[in-house]
Amino acid sequence: MTIQPMWPDHLLSLDEWSALPEDPSRRFELAEGVLVVAPRPVARHQKLIMRLGAQLDAARDGRYEVLPEYELVVDDGAAATVRVPDLVLAPAGLPDSTPRVHAADAIAVVEILSPGSRRLDRVLKYTEYAERGVPFYLLVEPGPPVVVAEFRSTGGGYELVAEHRGSAPLQLGVTLDLDALG
């Protein structure tokens, strides 16, 4: 009797990634063709996504779309990389049927740090997003207090703009009330 593998046994392309069945019980990403599976974020993390997304959405003035846990294509080559950041700020007017956005088209990416993602968010994703030209990268330390490290693209890298506490006047033209996120 042959046992069929539960998951693919080879590096995945973007088309193969798209064909995988949906499974909301876990969080999936694709890293250089390798399927990465993680547990869903805890309640505090989810609340921060919702509250931060609401503040960004209220201040957007039609300049961008705020998309929670939306697919971001970092590399669409033979061994693709697809990340699912906590929030993606995508170009305004994105069609509702669009399943993902390419990193080069994103306006900003937000990652909320958690015990299982600190190195991934601070090192690997930081580098991937910078190399693909994502203009702004926000790393949120859930605290308390909530702290937002704001990075701006330098054309292949990032520079730290500020570490915000309390109030966060971002380069995006939005001021966040970090105390209201807790």
Tell me which residues of the chain have a pLDDT lower than 50. Answer: 3-4
Distance CA 12, CA 179 (A): 41
pLDDT score recorded for residue 115: 86
For position 6, what pLDDT does the model report?
56
pLDDT of residue 155: 86
Q: What percent of the chain has pLDDT over 70?
A: 96
Express each pLDDT in 21-48 by its tens digit: 888 888 899 999 999 988 888 889 999 9
**What does the pLDDT read at residue 9?**
76
Assess if CATH 3.90.1570.10 describes domain 41-181.
yes
Domains in the chain: boundaries: 41-181
Phi, psi of 43 (to 5 degrees): -55, -45
| Strand ranges inside 69-143, DSSP E | 71-75, 81-83, 87-91, 100-102, 108-112, 136-141
Give me the pLDDT at residue 171, please.
94
